């Protein structure tokens, strides 16, 4: 299949939240096959806050996929993106290493405390990353529900990761016993890599009833046709179906 508009032919550079890595890498070959004007999709994954700062400072990119409204707003306020669109939500889950001696004893957020499992090693994303902010909200909700003020970052976290991708890797490799990650990442790891497991966080603690999930936004940075088309694909029902049925994301609200 040839590109119908040769002047549009080129690559699309996408800066995306690391929690989108599995889904975006999955659709890449099909998208390229269906869009002959796109010679390559070049992904750069990381914390949304870090990526937003890179874009504001002039890092070349065509599309931004953020796991946080705040980080997308910061880019929009700089006039880089005009009309971002919300397309997904992601809740939190406890991910644990199947090589951990605490594996069978990790059943709730209370299990992450040393008072429940002495010397357990737990990781959180840094609080400036969307996954870290979500973890803080979840711990606050659970602390109030359980009447246990020890459920906070200072008491739970033995280490902090710059992104959810980094945190997931540390749990998979057994460097950590557990951590609070996105439901999508935990589900993907547990089903495909067989090195970790997931514990669902009750709705009231996870903020589902309060709608405290991280919301995902996408926007085209450049006006190129390929950039706009890829941004529109991310918001399409086809991609949302993949996110929800295969990767554990929730529909936008």
pLDDT given at position 208? 65
Contact 122, 178 (CB under 8 A): yes
Instruction: For residue 168, give Cα distances in angstroms to 73, 79, 155, 216.
Output: 27, 33, 20, 19
**Residues comprising the chain, all counted:** 253
Mean pLDDT, all residues of the chain: 92
Q: Are strands 122-125 and 214-220 parallel, antiparallel or unpaired?
A: unpaired
Q: What is the pLDDT of residues 215-235, one digit of tens each?
A: 999 999 988 999 999 999 999
Entry pTM: 0.84
Residue at token pair 């998208």: 31
Distance from chain centroid for Cα 97: 19
- Asked whether the domain spanning 92-206 has the same topology as the one spanning 6-89+214-246, the reply is yes
Between CA 51 and CA 221 the distance in angstroms is: 13
pLDDT band at 211 (very low <50, low <70, confident <90, very high): low
Residue at token pair 């976290």: 157
Q: What is the pLDDT of residues 19-71, one digit of tens each?
A: 999 999 999 999 999 999 999 999 999 989 999 999 999 999 999 999 989 99
Q: What is the pLDDT of residues 120-151, one digit of tens each?
A: 999 999 998 889 999 999 999 899 888 999 99
pLDDT given at position 58? 93
In the chain, where the domains are located: 6-89+214-246, 92-206
pLDDT band at 203 (very low <50, low <70, confident <90, very high): confident
Q: DSSP letters along 95-140, please? A: EEETTSTTGGG--SGGGGSTTTSTT--EEEE-TTSHHHHHHHHHHH
Listed in sequence order, the residues at least 6 apart from 73 whose beta carbon sits closer than 8 Å to its beta carbon are none
CATH of domain 6-89+214-246: 3.40.190.10
Architecture (CATH level 2) of domain 92-206 = 3-Layer(aba) Sandwich (3.40)
Contact 20, 65 (CB under 8 A): yes
Which tokens go with 121?
């090693």
């Amino acid at each position: 299949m040839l590109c119908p508009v040769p002047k549009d032919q080129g690559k699309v550079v996408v800066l995306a939240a690391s929690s989108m890595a599995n889904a975006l890498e999955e659709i890449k070959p099909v998208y390229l096959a269906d869009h002959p004007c796109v010679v390559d999709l070049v992904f750069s994954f990381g914390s949304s806050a870090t990526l937003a700062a890179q874009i504001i400072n002039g890092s070349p990119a065509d599309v931004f996929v953020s796991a946080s409204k705040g980080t997308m707003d910061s880019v929009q306020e700089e006039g880089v993106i005009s009309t971002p669109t919300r397309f997904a939500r992601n809740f939190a889950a406890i991910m644990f290493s199947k090589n951990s001696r605490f594996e069978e004893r990790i059943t709730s957020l209370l299990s992450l405390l040393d008072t429940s499992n002495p010397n357990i090693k737990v990781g959180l994303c840094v609080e400036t990353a969307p996954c870290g902010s979500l973890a803080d909200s979840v711990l606050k909700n659970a602390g109030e529900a359980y009447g246990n003020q020890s459920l906070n970052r200072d008491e739970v976290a033995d280490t902090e990761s710059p992104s959810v991708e980094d945190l997931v890797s540390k749990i998979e490799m057994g460097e950590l016993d557990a951590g609070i990650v996105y439901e999508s990442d935990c589900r993907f790891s547990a089903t495909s890599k067989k090195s970790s497991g997931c514990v669902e966080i009750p709705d009231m603690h996870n903020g589902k009833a309060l709608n405290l999930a991280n919301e995902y936004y996408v926007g085209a940075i450049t006006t190129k046709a390929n950039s706009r088309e890829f941004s529109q694909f991310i918001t399409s029902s086809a991609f949302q179906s993949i996110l929800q049925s295969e990767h554990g994301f929730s529909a936008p609200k």
